[in-house]
Every structure is written in C-alpha cells, then in structure tokens.
Amino acid sequence: MEFEDFSNLVFREGENKIEEMEIFHLSQREMQIEIFNNQVDKYIISDSSGVSLRGVAGQGMGYSYTEKMDEESARMIIAEVITNGEYTDIIEGASFSSPSKDTDKRYERAQGMDELSVEEKIEIMLELEKVALLIDKRVSKSQTCSYEEFSLKREMRNSKGLNLSDSSDWGYVYLSVVANDGDDTRTGSTMFLFRNPKDIDIAKIAKEAVKEAVSSLGGRPVESGKYNIILKNNVFSEILEGFMPAFTGENVQKGLSFLKGRIGNAIGSEILTLIEDPFLESGFKTCRFDDEGFPTTSKTIIENGVLKDYLFNSRAANKEGIVSTGNGFRDSYKAPVGTRPTNLMVLPGVISRERMIASIDKGVYITDVVGLHSGLNHVSGDFSLQAQGFLIEEGQLKRPVNGITISGNFIEILSNISNVSDDIYFGFPGNGHYGAPSIKINLIDISGY
C-alpha cells in the first residue's frame, strides 16, 4: 500500500477514536559500495520506509510505528496509539502545527545523483583506492573505502489540515588507510560529502587520508600537564555535537543540563558566536519545517560568549509557554520527537590555522579525538577523550603525539578560547550538521606519561 492510501485509511479509521492525530512517513532509498583490495567487496541497495502515528487519546500522547503498510497494520497502530496515550501521564504534551506560509515553500533538491551510473560510481571508488595506495610505500592497504548515497523523503499530515513533504539527496565517500613503517601501525581517514557524485575529488581524498596516516606514525605521549592547544576544526565540531543535548529546552527543564539557568550569562570567550541557520545553502540539514511541521528558524545561540537561547520542540515549548523553535526532530519514525539543530556553526575568525599554530611556544595540536559517546558527558559538561595530534615547539609541529587524553569541562574550553581561525569545516551530518573553525585554547589538561 502506498503512503497516501495508508494515511487516508488511518485517518478514516482513527477519526472517531483519537482526538487529534499526526502521521509521519519517512522513505529512504540507499546505495552503498565498498571497495577492498581492488574489488567490490560489498554492494548494498535498499528501498524502505516506515510510518509513525501519534495522537491524543485519554490524557496523553501515544506513539506507534510500523514498517508494514496494510490494513492490519493500520488498525494495529491506531489501537496502540490509544493504549499508549491512556498510559501516558504528561498532559501538557506536544502540540500539532497548523498549516503556515513559512513551511509552504518546498525544498526540492537538484537530482544530481543519477548523473553517473552505478558502474561509473564503482569505477570512481576503485580508482580512489588505487590512487591512495600509490602515494606512499608505507601505505599498502585500505581499511575502508566506501561510497554511500541517500534519497530521503519526508511526508506528514495532521488533523489540523497540515500536509507537508520534502526530500533530500546526498552522499559521502569515506576512505581510511593503514600505514605501517615496520615499527608502528597508524590509520588516517577522510570523509567527503557531496550532492553530485561528479564532484568527488579523488586526488584530494586520497592525499588527505594518506597524509594523516603517515604523519602520525611513531606518535607517542607527551608528559602529563597543562598545555596550550589548537583543536582542529573537525575535532571542535565533533565536541560541539557531543554537547548539543545540553542546549535543548527538554534537558534544561529536566535539570539534565549544565547550561540550566545560564541564559544571559557568559559561558564562553567574547570571540565565540554560535548560530543555527536552517536555510544555509551548503548545509546538509537544510529544511523549512521540523518533524512536527513547525517552521524552522534562524537563531543565535551564543553571541560573543553569552548564552542567548535554547532549542525547543513543541512539548518543551508548551511547558515554557512559547512556540516551538522548529527543532523537533526524530532519529527515525520509530523514535519519539527529540530536539536537535538543523545546520549549526561557530562563526569563523580571520587568522589562518598555520599562524595560530605559529603563535604557540609549547603546546599540542589536536587533530583527532575518539570515544565521544562514552568520554563526554553532556549532563555535567565534563569530558575526557582519547586524542592524537602533534607536539608544537616554538611555533613548529615537532613530532606526532598519540596515547594521550584531553580532559576538562565544556564551559572551561569555551571560556579559554583565545583565538578562532578562518578554516570552517562541516562534519558528517548526523544529529544536525555542525560547522566549526579550528580554535586556540589556553591551558587544558593532558594526560600522557
């Protein structure tokens, strides 16, 4: 059954049983190619979708989902929404959005994905692996050489007459290579986002991954202590993403955020400004409406170091007596509506990263951190992360560093930012699309030997 028929059926069957309801459909076409040892190691295609129904029944809002669209499933999700609603205590629940002119404009993406055939895409990836393994004799193996493209479509309807849809097409190439010099083994990787596979820059991807792997060979810890550090743009954007749950109204209301009660307070250095731009042309989370149908909005979250605003979905907004800020998104149709930003970025400065490094007499340039899902606590703001990079002495990169941790508190990091470079980088679009420049931070704890 197609979504249109299925949603008509659900609305017809549910009309007299559920007070208000909303149906949300996400369909996804996906293609993935993995190359290993000059062969197509893995090839995956899919065409899948799922439907989520939520509605007010009894006193609360019930949720249910299904991946099978037939009459039996329509009846099942209606019955489940009713039961689940009856057991839910939260009376001030989410609210449904009315149709609005802000969400009317459709964001249809350019369809560049099909400009190359599957065979041509495979050729690109075979070539990428080959090129990468010719650059340096210490790099003789790829760990992952993969291509993935998505075509996503969102559709939603509610009993207030809302009827919205949009789509998004994008893809990425990920290359990770293994370097070995007889004594040490290191890996290096690059991720490359695209909307049109013709834009894939093989030479650049290969060069970056190989450079990272080879340059980190022989890395060893530095002595434990406090150091001035440079956090490379990709690292800062990952740390920002890790702490983002603290910026949501939902967690602030529950007392599960170290940013509670800090609106209007300085939480960072004066040179730090953080904005959300849902309409950013180059952003991969660009959209006109959130997963509850509310219009997305541009906002400044941190302005010159001062915390200005939290992000709200409709449930948290209702509790606060305000309108949703258009940040109600779901991980999938299986999950309840959470809160996340669209495109989020730290405004870049004017100095180059090289000059920032040159300004440090003794310090560490951090190029990678690992363990963000366990070593970073977005409730307390504390973190302790496995890191690698380079020792800086007299403004020069002296030697690779590995086997260390950087530790501290997020507010401490933001407050100790002494410079922001001009090299903004957007990471992998996950729980939002995060862009950040490299930053210089004074006196951070490093644990080594």
Partner 1 sequence: MLNRNTVGNVLDEALSNGGDFAEVFLEDKITSNMKLVEGEISDCLSGRDYGIGIRILNGTNSIYGYTNDSSEKSLIKLTRLLFTSLRGKRSVNSKDFTQFIRSEYSPVQIKFSDVIKNYKVDLLKQAYHAAKEYDQVISQVTTTYMEEEQNIFIANSDGLWSTDKRTRTRFAVSSAASLNGEIQMGYFAPGSSMGYEFYDKIDLVETGREASRIAKVMIYADHAPSGRMPVVIENGFGGVLFHEACGHALEASFVSKEVSAFGGNLGKIVASPLITAIDDGTMSNGWGTTNIDDEGTPTRENILIENGILKSYLIDKLNGRRMDLDSTGSARRQSYRFPPTSRMNNTFIAPGESTPEELIKSIGSGLYAKKLGGGSVNPATGDFNFSVMEGYLIKNGRITTPVRGATLVGNGIEVLKLIDGVGNNLKLEQGMCGASSGSIPVNVGQPAIRISDITVGGRKEDA
SS3 for 333-384, per residue?
Answer: CCCCCEECCCEEEECCCCECHHHHHHCCCEEEEEEEEECHHHHECCCCCEEE
Among 63, 96, 147, 294, which residue sits at the site for partner 1 (rule: CB under 8 A)? 63
84 near partner 1, rule: CB under 8 A: yes
Q: Among 111, 224, 282, 396, which residue interacts with partner 1 (rule: CB under 8 A)?
A: 224
Binding part of the chain for partner 1, among 36-44, 271-279, 343-351, 391-399 by CB under 8 A, reads: 36-44
- Contacts for 115-123: CB closer than 8 Å, 24+ residues apart: 115/196, 115/197, 115/198, 116/197, 116/198, 118/31, 118/33, 120/197, 121/31, 121/33, 121/147, 121/197, 122/33, 122/35, 122/40
Give the residue, chosen from 83, 159, 196, 442, that forms a contact with partner 1 under the rule CB under 8 A: 83
Among positions 3, 6, 11, 65, the unique one binding partner 1 when judged by CB under 8 A: 65
Is position 187 an interface residue for partner 1 (rule: CB under 8 A)? Answer: yes
Q: Give pairs for 199-202: CB < 8 Å, separation 24+.
A: 200/124, 200/128, 200/173, 202/124, 202/127, 202/128, 202/131
Tokens 């933001």 -> residue:
414
Which residues, 40 to 59, sit near partner 1 by CB under 8 A?
A: 40-50, 52
Cβ proximity to partner 1, 163 vs 332, nearer residue: 332
Nearer to partner 1, 54 or 353 (CB): 54
Q: Tokens standing for 80? A: 């489940």
Select 182 or 255, whichever has its Cβ closest to partner 1: 255
Sign, CA dihedral 406-412-417-422, equals: positive
By beta-carbon proximity to partner 1, the closer residue of 167 and 386 is 386
Neighbouring-strand partners of residue 19: none
Pick 141 or 160: Cβ nearer partner 1: 141
CA 89, chain centre distance (Å) = 32
- Of the residues 116, 165, 193, 221, which one makes contact with partner 1 according to CB under 8 A: 221
Using the rule CB under 8 A, is 39 a contact of partner 1?
yes
Site for partner 1 in 323-382 (CB under 8 A): 334-336, 370-371, 373-375, 377, 379-380, 382
Cβ 243 to partner 1, closest distance in Å? 13
Nearest approach, Cβ of 323 to partner 1 (angstroms)? Answer: 21
The CB density around residue 421, as the number of other CB atoms within 10 Å, is: 24
Among 178, 266, 397, 443, binds partner 1 (CB under 8 A): 178
